[in-house]
Amino acid sequence: MSIPDPPSADRLSAASKRPSGPGSTFNSSATTPAATYAALRGSKDALPAARAAGEELNKALGGVVDQVTRENALALGRAVRYAAEQGHTLFADLGGGIPIQRSDSWGLPDLYAVASGVQPGLRWLLVDSDELAILYGRALVGRNPDVHVEWEDLRQPAKVLHLLDLHLGVKQKIVCVLGAVLHFMTDRQAATLVSALYEHLVPGSLIFATHVTRTGLPPEMAERGKEVYERLNGVEIHLRTEEEITAMAGPFEIKPPGVVRTIDFMPPQEGPAPEEAPHFLMWMAERLPDETGAQPPAERSV
Ligand SMILES: C[S@@+](CC[C@H](N)C(=O)[O-])C[C@H]1O[C@@H](n2cnc3c(N)ncnc32)[C@H](O)[C@@H]1O
């Protein structure tokens, strides 16, 4: 599919009649992680509350948030391109967020557009618990039978697994993208999701995860960022250390390049990125066959 036209008012209205999440939580005067993130990427349809949140976050953190968002989008784009080049055709973008439409303010397209540019005919499932993400996603997708946009809460893994089976097929190799979403979950919720995926996915399946980190951040900056983000978005965010983020891969085998800054994940150019570059942390992990015996996380080198 080529990148679709932005949704018209008619398509948005039609999409709004399709079922999304239980009840209506949409409130245009408040923002959400999905809306704030889309505003940071420069979505032209961002609501004023989301734009204001992005600006306030950048102000509080000296512009770092824009840079981190860009690096996250770049790194995830490199990840799905890599997976598509390896022949993967089934993708689940879990906590996929609001589609940007064509490209963001840095010229970076949505992940679906990146992967389908490499591997035509792939199947894509976007799951999110944000109503606006579902509304936009469904309006953009239109009648494309290869792309599915579903409301679900990742804290209900059994329901997510059902969606994988329904839209991507049973016992298929799947690439799961967990972009900047695990940090909205407690340790227990994230571990439950990851181990459910491990039990469900067949060997050769991949997970890519990006995660906000406190490692490398001055503590007062980390705390200020957390406080401002939570106040503006009305959610709890978990700033984890590199060690904690590494452990979140659970039984999956972390593959090269290991747990790295997004800026260092399959960088297009040789040469080290600046030490002080702001970043999320990122890993790519594979579901190995059971008999291979993945090392427990504590023994794995970072
Ligand atoms: C910061 S955005 C990242 C969007 C996209 N994954 C990316 O990295 O470009 C986080 C997304 O995760 C979604 N999210 C957070 N908690 C979730 C949950 N429990 N279930 C499903 N989606 C969730 C939010 O609604 C939002 O769209």
Q: Which helix (H) or strand (E) holds 86?
A: none
Inform me whether the pLDDT recorded for 140 exceeds 90.
Answer: no
Q: What DSSP string runs through 253-285? A: EEPTT-SEEGGGSS-SSSSPPPTT----EEEEE
Q: What DSSP string runs through 135-195? A: HHHHHHHTT-TTEEEEE--TT-HHHHHHHHHHHH-TT---EEEE-S-GGGS-HHHHHHHHH
Percentage with pLDDT > 70 across the chain: 85
Inform me whether the pLDDT recorded for 131 exceeds 90.
Answer: yes
- The per-residue pLDDT for 106 is 82
Average pLDDT over residues 192-206: 98
Is 3 in contact with 124 (CB distance < 8 Å)? no
Report CA(170)–ligand 1 centroid distance (Å): 24
Q: What DSSP string runs through 280-294? A: -EEEEEE---GGG-P
Give the distance from CA 42 to its chain's centroid: 17
Beta bridge partner(s), residue 240? 213
Least confident of 7-11, 120-124, 152-156: 7-11
Tally Cβ neighbours within 10 Å of residue 101: 21
- The per-residue pLDDT for 28 is 62
pTM: 0.88
Name the residue with tokens 């679709």. Answer: 4
- The per-residue pLDDT for 127 is 98
Residue nearest to atom 27 of ligand 1 (CA): 97
Residue nearest to atom 13 of ligand 1 (CA): 95
Report CA(188)–ligand 1 centroid distance (Å): 17
Give helix 131-141 / helix 9-17 axis angle, nearest 10°: 120
Nearest to 283 by CA among 207, 192, 194: 207
- By most ligand atoms within 8 Å of CB, the mutation choice from 43, 181, 212, 282 for ligand 1 is 181
3-state secondary structure at position 244: helix
CATH numbers and ranges of domains, the chain: 9-20+30-284 (3.40.50.150)
d(Cα 75, Cα 138) in Å, to the nearest integer? 25
Percentage with pLDDT > 90 across the chain: 67
Report CA(97)–ligand 1 centroid distance (Å): 5
- The per-residue pLDDT for 141 is 85
The residues lining ligand 1, judged by C-beta closer than 6 Å to any ligand atom, are 33-34, 37, 72-73, 76, 95-97, 128-130, 133, 153-155, 179-181, 184
- The per-residue pLDDT for 157 is 98
CA distances from residue 213 to 59, 262, 280 in whole angstroms, order as listed: 19, 11, 6
CA distances from residue 163 to 134, 138, 154 in whole angstroms, order as listed: 14, 15, 11
Angle, CA of 235, 238 and 239, to the nearest 5°: 130
d(Cα 283, Cα 108) in Å, to the nearest integer? 21
pLDDT grade for 270, boundaries at 50, 70 and 90: low
Average pLDDT over residues 9-38: 61
Q: Which helix (H) or strand (E) holds 207?
A: strand 206-211
Average pLDDT over residues 244-252: 98
Inform me whether the pLDDT recorded for 228 exceeds 80.
Answer: yes
Residue nearest to atom 12 of ligand 1 (CA): 95
Strands 90-94 and 175-178: parallel
Per-residue model confidence as pLDDT tens digits over 70-111? 999 999 999 999 999 999 999 999 999 998 776 788 878 899
